[in-house]
């Protein structure tokens, strides 16, 4: 194949350039028509990768970067440009496009103003890499985030300052005002409420001794509300570690109401069940589902009355791979009718009995009668609902609570919620807000990836290997592999090949 040269121009009135894409990269070939023995023949010459179709700039291994147009019919070799940086490109580019497309990036820029680049960089750092804040600057220097957010300032001292800034109570009120408007169309009116402990030894009033299920620790309680349908975090608040869950629900509902959140239904854990909370939910016309703790008198009375006939095939329901005996009975919920679902999980009962027997047989003081009584209690649980729900539907509804556990896991594992590396209440509030924003970003991206082969974390890991080279005025992105292109195809985006910045 003859190569084009600058010395000779070709008459290309009958020539054309053919473009084709492979793995998301566009390539071009020159077709030159001629006749040989009365037969039309196309001579094909490889131009290489398309850098700028409109300007006729191409790049090939043989020629490097060059300019060629059909009009000139000649190659003009372009002067080499100096390579300045090689950066991790794909993960930051992907996250940025997803947050822009969802409208969330606009909200962050509007709320944080002049500090938006720094806040966004921290959100990207926590989402894509994670780790102590002292390494945020190092990560930023090697990431495309430095191009996206050039005004970011990430030395350790500045990160501490920005946490205090975004921990300002008025700024957080502004954030939730705009954020709740942003997610209003995604909210179903059904909320999940739960809390988790944040162990720490920070010397401030929010750290206190907590005894949770027999485990004693110094901690602060984080209370989180999410939407049951979309899975999006709605709101968070915090309390001292010695504040029990049951005393926080009414305030949490009241704070959300002040932001205009219309709560119609709530699913909460056993720690929130009380006379006061039940009446508060009833007063606000909020239906609810909760689990009944075994130390409650109602629990003991219901078990005593219904356990003997519970193991009957007519009460069997299936939830995923579990089989449960479940009997619905009407109960009085502090003056109003409600429903209790007395249940026995067959697999859980056998597992708990086996574990109990292994321990009991080593204790010579345990009698057989005591063992029989104890074994009868294994695998039992009771759900309480203010509304009448079919027994086959109550478990799928209640176990949507697992979504809030996933948010806590995201916070602790993906957004560096723990360990707490802050000092002072403002920094603590800023740390919680940053973790909340990272969790929202994760859910938005994860939702967009639903149905693909990867979750948000997997996509970030894959796309981190898509690099870019930075020159004086432009960026050239390296070729994406199949996994990278599959992600882009699923969320309907494209990776740029070359662009100015």
Number of domains the chain is built from: 2
Asked whether residue 132 is assigned to any structural domain, the reply reads no
Cis peptide before 419 (omega within 30 of 0): yes
What confidence score (pLDDT) does residue 423 get?
75
Of 149-153, 277-281, 363-367, 479-483, the poorest mean pLDDT is in: 363-367
**Same domain membership, residue 364 and residue 215:** yes
DSSP 8-state symbol, 351: H
Here the tokens at position 135 are: 């390494």
Does residue 59 share a domain with residue 192?
A: no
Closest CA relative to residue 49, chosen from 64, 38, 36, 60: 60
What's the mean pLDDT in 127-145?
94
Residue 419 has pLDDT above 80, yes or no: no
What's the gap between Cα 347 and its chain centre?
32
Is the N-terminal amide bond of 93 cis, ω within 30° of 0? no
Query: Mean pLDDT throughout 35-39?
Result: 77
pLDDT surpassing 80 at residue 382: yes
Last residue of a domain, one of 367, 386, 413: 413
Q: How far is CA 214 from the centre of its chain?
A: 31
Of 29, 63, 80, the one marking the end of a domain is 80
H/E stretch holding 184: none
Where do the H-state alpha helices sit in 236-296? 249-258, 275-283
> Distance (Å, rounded) from C-alpha 435 to C-alpha 413?
11
Contacts of 13-17 with CB under 8 Å at 24 or more apart are 15/70, 15/73, 16/70, 17/47, 17/70
Is residue 489 in a domain?
no
Q: Per-residue pLDDT for 54 more than 90?
A: no
More confident residue, 91 or 51: 91
Q: Which domain-ending residue is among 367, 398, 413?
A: 413
Backbone angles phi, psi at 175, to 5 degrees: -60, -50
- Residues 74 and 176 both lie in one domain: no
Compute how many other C-beta atoms are within 10 angstroms of the C-beta atom of residue 90.
24
Gap between the Cα atoms of 337 and 340, Å rounded: 10
Contact status, residue 363 vs residue 295, Cβ threshold 8 Å: no
Q: What is the pLDDT of residue 494?
A: 94
Same domain for 214 and 73: no
Within a domain: 134: no
Tokens encoding 293: 């703790």
pLDDT, position 414:
67
* Residues spanned by the domain of 300: 172-413
d(CA 117, CA 126): 14
Q: Report in angstroms the alpha-carbon separations of 278 from 190, 386, 390.
A: 16, 9, 21
DSSP notation for 261-275: ----EEEE-GGG--H
312 located within any domain: yes
Q: What order do you get walking across the sheet with 64-68 strand by strand?
A: 16-22, 25-36, 39-52, 57-60, 64-68, 75-77
Which DSSP letter does residue 61 get? T
Q: Do 55 and 179 belong to one domain?
A: no
What's the chain's average pLDDT?
Answer: 89
Asked if residue 452 is part of any domain, the answer here is: no
Query: Are 295 and 401 part of one and the same domain?
Result: yes
Tally of helices (H runs) and strands (E runs) in the chain? 17, 20
User: 45-63: buried (b, 16+ CB within 10 Å) or exposed (e) per residue?
Assistant: bebbbbbeeeebbbbeeeb
Q: Are residues 253 and 362 in the same domain?
A: yes
CATH of the domain at 317: 3.90.350.10
76 and 188 together in one domain: no
Same domain, 216 and 334: yes
Residue 245 corresponds to which tokens in the numbers above?
A: 């869950």
Residue 136 lies in a domain: no
Is 278 within the bounds of a domain?
yes
Angstrom distance (rounded) from CA 435 to CA 27: 43
Q: Are 46 and 194 part of one and the same domain?
A: no
At 376 the pLDDT is: 86
CB 264 within 8 A of CB 227: no
Output the pLDDT for position 212. 66
**pLDDT band (50, 70, 90) for residue 6:** very low
- Which of 176-185, 187-196, 409-418, 476-485 comes out lowest in average pLDDT? 409-418
CA distance 425 to 375: 47
User: What is the structure's pLDDT at 373?
Assistant: 84
DSSP letters for 428-454:
HHHHHHHHHHHHHHHHHHHHHTTTSS-
Q: What average pLDDT does the segment 181-202 reach? A: 88
Asked if the structure places residue 296 within a domain, the reply is: yes
Q: What is the pLDDT of residues 69-115, one digit of tens each?
A: 888 777 887 776 677 899 999 999 999 999 999 999 999 999 999 99
* Amino acid 81: pLDDT: 67
């Amino acid at each position: 194949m003859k190569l084009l040269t600058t010395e000779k121009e070709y008459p290309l009135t009958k020539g054309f350039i053919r473009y084709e894409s492979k793995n998301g990269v566009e390539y071009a070939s020159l077709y030159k028509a001629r006749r040989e023995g009365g037969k039309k023949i196309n001579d094909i010459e490889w131009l290489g990768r398309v850098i700028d179709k409109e300007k006729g700039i191409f790049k090939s291994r043989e020629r490097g970067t060059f300019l060629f147009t059909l009009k000139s019919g000649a190659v003009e070799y372009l002067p080499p440009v100096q390579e300045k940086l090689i950066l991790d490109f794909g993960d930051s580019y992907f996250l940025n496009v997803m947050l822009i497309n969802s409208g969330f990036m606009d909200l962050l820029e509007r709320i944080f103003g002049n500090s938006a680049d720094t806040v966004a960089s921290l959100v990207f750092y926590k989402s894509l890499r994670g780790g102590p804040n002292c390494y945020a600057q190092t990560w930023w220097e090697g990431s495309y985030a430095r191009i996206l957010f050039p005004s970011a300032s990430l030395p350790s001292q500045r990160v501490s300052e920005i946490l205090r800034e975004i921990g300002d109570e008025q700024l957080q009120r502004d954030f939730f005002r705009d954020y709740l408007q942003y997610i209003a169309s995604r909210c179903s009116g059904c909320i999940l409420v739960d809390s988790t402990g944040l162990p720490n030894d920070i010397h401030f009033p929010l750290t206190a001794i907590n005894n949770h299920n027999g485990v004693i620790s110094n901690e602060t309680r984080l209370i989180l509300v999410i939407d049951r349908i979309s899975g999006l975090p709605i709101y968070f608040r915090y309390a001292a570690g010695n504040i029990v869950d049951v005393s926080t629900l009414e305030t949490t509902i009241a704070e959300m109401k002040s932001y205009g959140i219309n709560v119609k239904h709530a699913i909460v854990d056993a720690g929130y069940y009380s006379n006061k909370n039940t009446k508060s939910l009833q007063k606000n016309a909020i239906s609810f589902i909760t689990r009944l703790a075994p130390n409650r008198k109602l629990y003991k009375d219901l078990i005593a009355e219904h356990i003997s006939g519970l193991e009957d095939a007519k009460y069997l329901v299936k939830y995923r791979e579990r089989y449960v005996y479940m009997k619905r009975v009407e109960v009085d919920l502090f003056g109003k009718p409600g429903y209790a679902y007395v249940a026995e999980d067959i697999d859980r009962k056998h597992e708990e009995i086996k574990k109990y027997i292994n321990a009991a047989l080593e204790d010579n003081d345990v009698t057989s009668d005591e063992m029989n009584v104890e074994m009868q209690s294994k695998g039992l649980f009771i759900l309480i609902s203010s509304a009448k729900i079919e027994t086959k539907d109550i478990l799928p509804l209640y176990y949507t609570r697992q979504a809030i556990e996933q948010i806590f896991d995201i916070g602790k594992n993906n957004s560096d919620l723990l360990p707490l590396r802050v000092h002072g209440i403002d920094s603590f509030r800023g740390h919680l807000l940053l973790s909340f924003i990272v969790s929202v970003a994760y859910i938005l991206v994860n939702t967009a990836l639903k149905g693909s082969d990867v979750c948000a974390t997997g996509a970030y890991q894959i796309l981190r290997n898509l690099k870019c080279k930075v020159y004086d005025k432009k960026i050239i992105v390296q070729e994406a592999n199949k996994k990278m292109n599959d992600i882009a195809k699923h969320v309907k985006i494209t990776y740029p090949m070359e662009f100015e910045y």
